[in-house]
Homo-oligomer: A and B are copies of this chain.
């Protein structure tokens, strides 16, 4: 990755995909060569303009971009066809339904695509499907790091570090605050979040019209509070042995859809028992001025570079964002 820029494609051009385009445009080690959404895709061997992509309105499509935009019915298929020109992929697609991302990655595997991937996947059941792809990805010599955003991702990795000081972990609590000035910028993310509210399911949340989402937000003055969300932090921490049961990982938070100011400070709190039997707590606290994009896209690209490092060493397959820390010794 040091010699020539890593050629990156972004799948999805919602709030996260667009933010990633902007981030990549500032990195000399990465070049954004492709991006797609439901309406089409854009490709340029020399690199797409991340700032231009960032400015596309929520209802717009990357197919309309000045340079390289193409309307088509199957934009994922077009990206797969460009596979030999793409080194790494950031998956910024919706988690809904739970098998949505896994089925798309299967298409890459079936086409024999060999490269690296990260995603910012959140739901536990969606991530379970990703780990099913391990054998297929190994066969095509691809390396995939899942749950590489903020939570799971940055905060979950911090929990693995925090766990090092303890003989036993009693609880990992992640409490996040997100503020966005307009929910329209994060339509898919917010529908995914609504699915966590009492009375909603993945299916009913996905089926909500924009007007219905707005009515729901109006009734709550733009704020959504989530308790005990189904978040794959639990799976990732159980997988590496930080907790012996997923129930010990608790994720919740507050999203304000009408102000970019965070309603609460995002904090990972790990409580454990030390060798001498003391109960204590380590914390990882994110600065309020950092945005969701900073805390999701930054780590996702950092893990993408790590995935490239792993692939270079012939380490293929699916890994969680918690799997390259110091390990838990049992």
Residues of A bordering B, CB below 8 Å: 22-23, 26-30, 148, 154, 157-158, 161-162, 164-167, 274-276, 278-291, 293-295, 298-299, 301-306, 309, 313-315, 321, 324-330
Contact = CB atoms under 8 A, between A and B. Distances in A.
Given A165-B290, A282-B284, A303-B327, 12 more contacts: A23-B275, A26-B275, A165-B295, A166-B290, A274-B290, A278-B289, A282-B285, A282-B286, A285-B285, A299-B326, A302-B327, A304-B329
A167 B24 CA distance: 11
A166 B27 contact: no
Contacts of A166: 290, 294, 298
A252 B313 CA distance: 37
A29 B275 contact: no
Given A284-B158, A302-B164, A289 B274 contact: yes
B294 A326 contact: no
A304 to B, nearest CB: 8
B330 A29 contact: yes
B321 A294 contact: no
Nearest to A148: B326
A306 B294 contact: no
B164 A154 contact: yes
Contacts of A23: 275
29 contacts: A23-B275, A26-B167, A26-B275, A27-B330, A28-B330, A154-B161, A154-B165, A157-B326, A162-B284, A165-B287, A166-B294, A274-B289, A274-B294, A276-B291, A280-B288, A280-B289, A282-B287, A283-B284, A283-B285, A284-B284, A284-B285, A301-B329, A302-B328, A302-B329, A303-B327, A305-B326, A305-B327, A313-B313, A313-B315
Given A158-B158, A298-B166, A306 B326 contact: yes
A159 to B, nearest CB: 10
Contacts of A321: 326
A23 B304 CA distance: 35
A265 to B, nearest CB: 10
Contacts of A29: 329-330
Contact of A309 (B298, B301, B327): B327
A321 B164 CA distance: 13
A28 to B, nearest CB: 6
Contact of A291 (B26, B30, B274, B281): B274
A281 B283 CA distance: 14
A281 to B, nearest CB: 5
B313 A329 contact: no
B275 A293 contact: yes
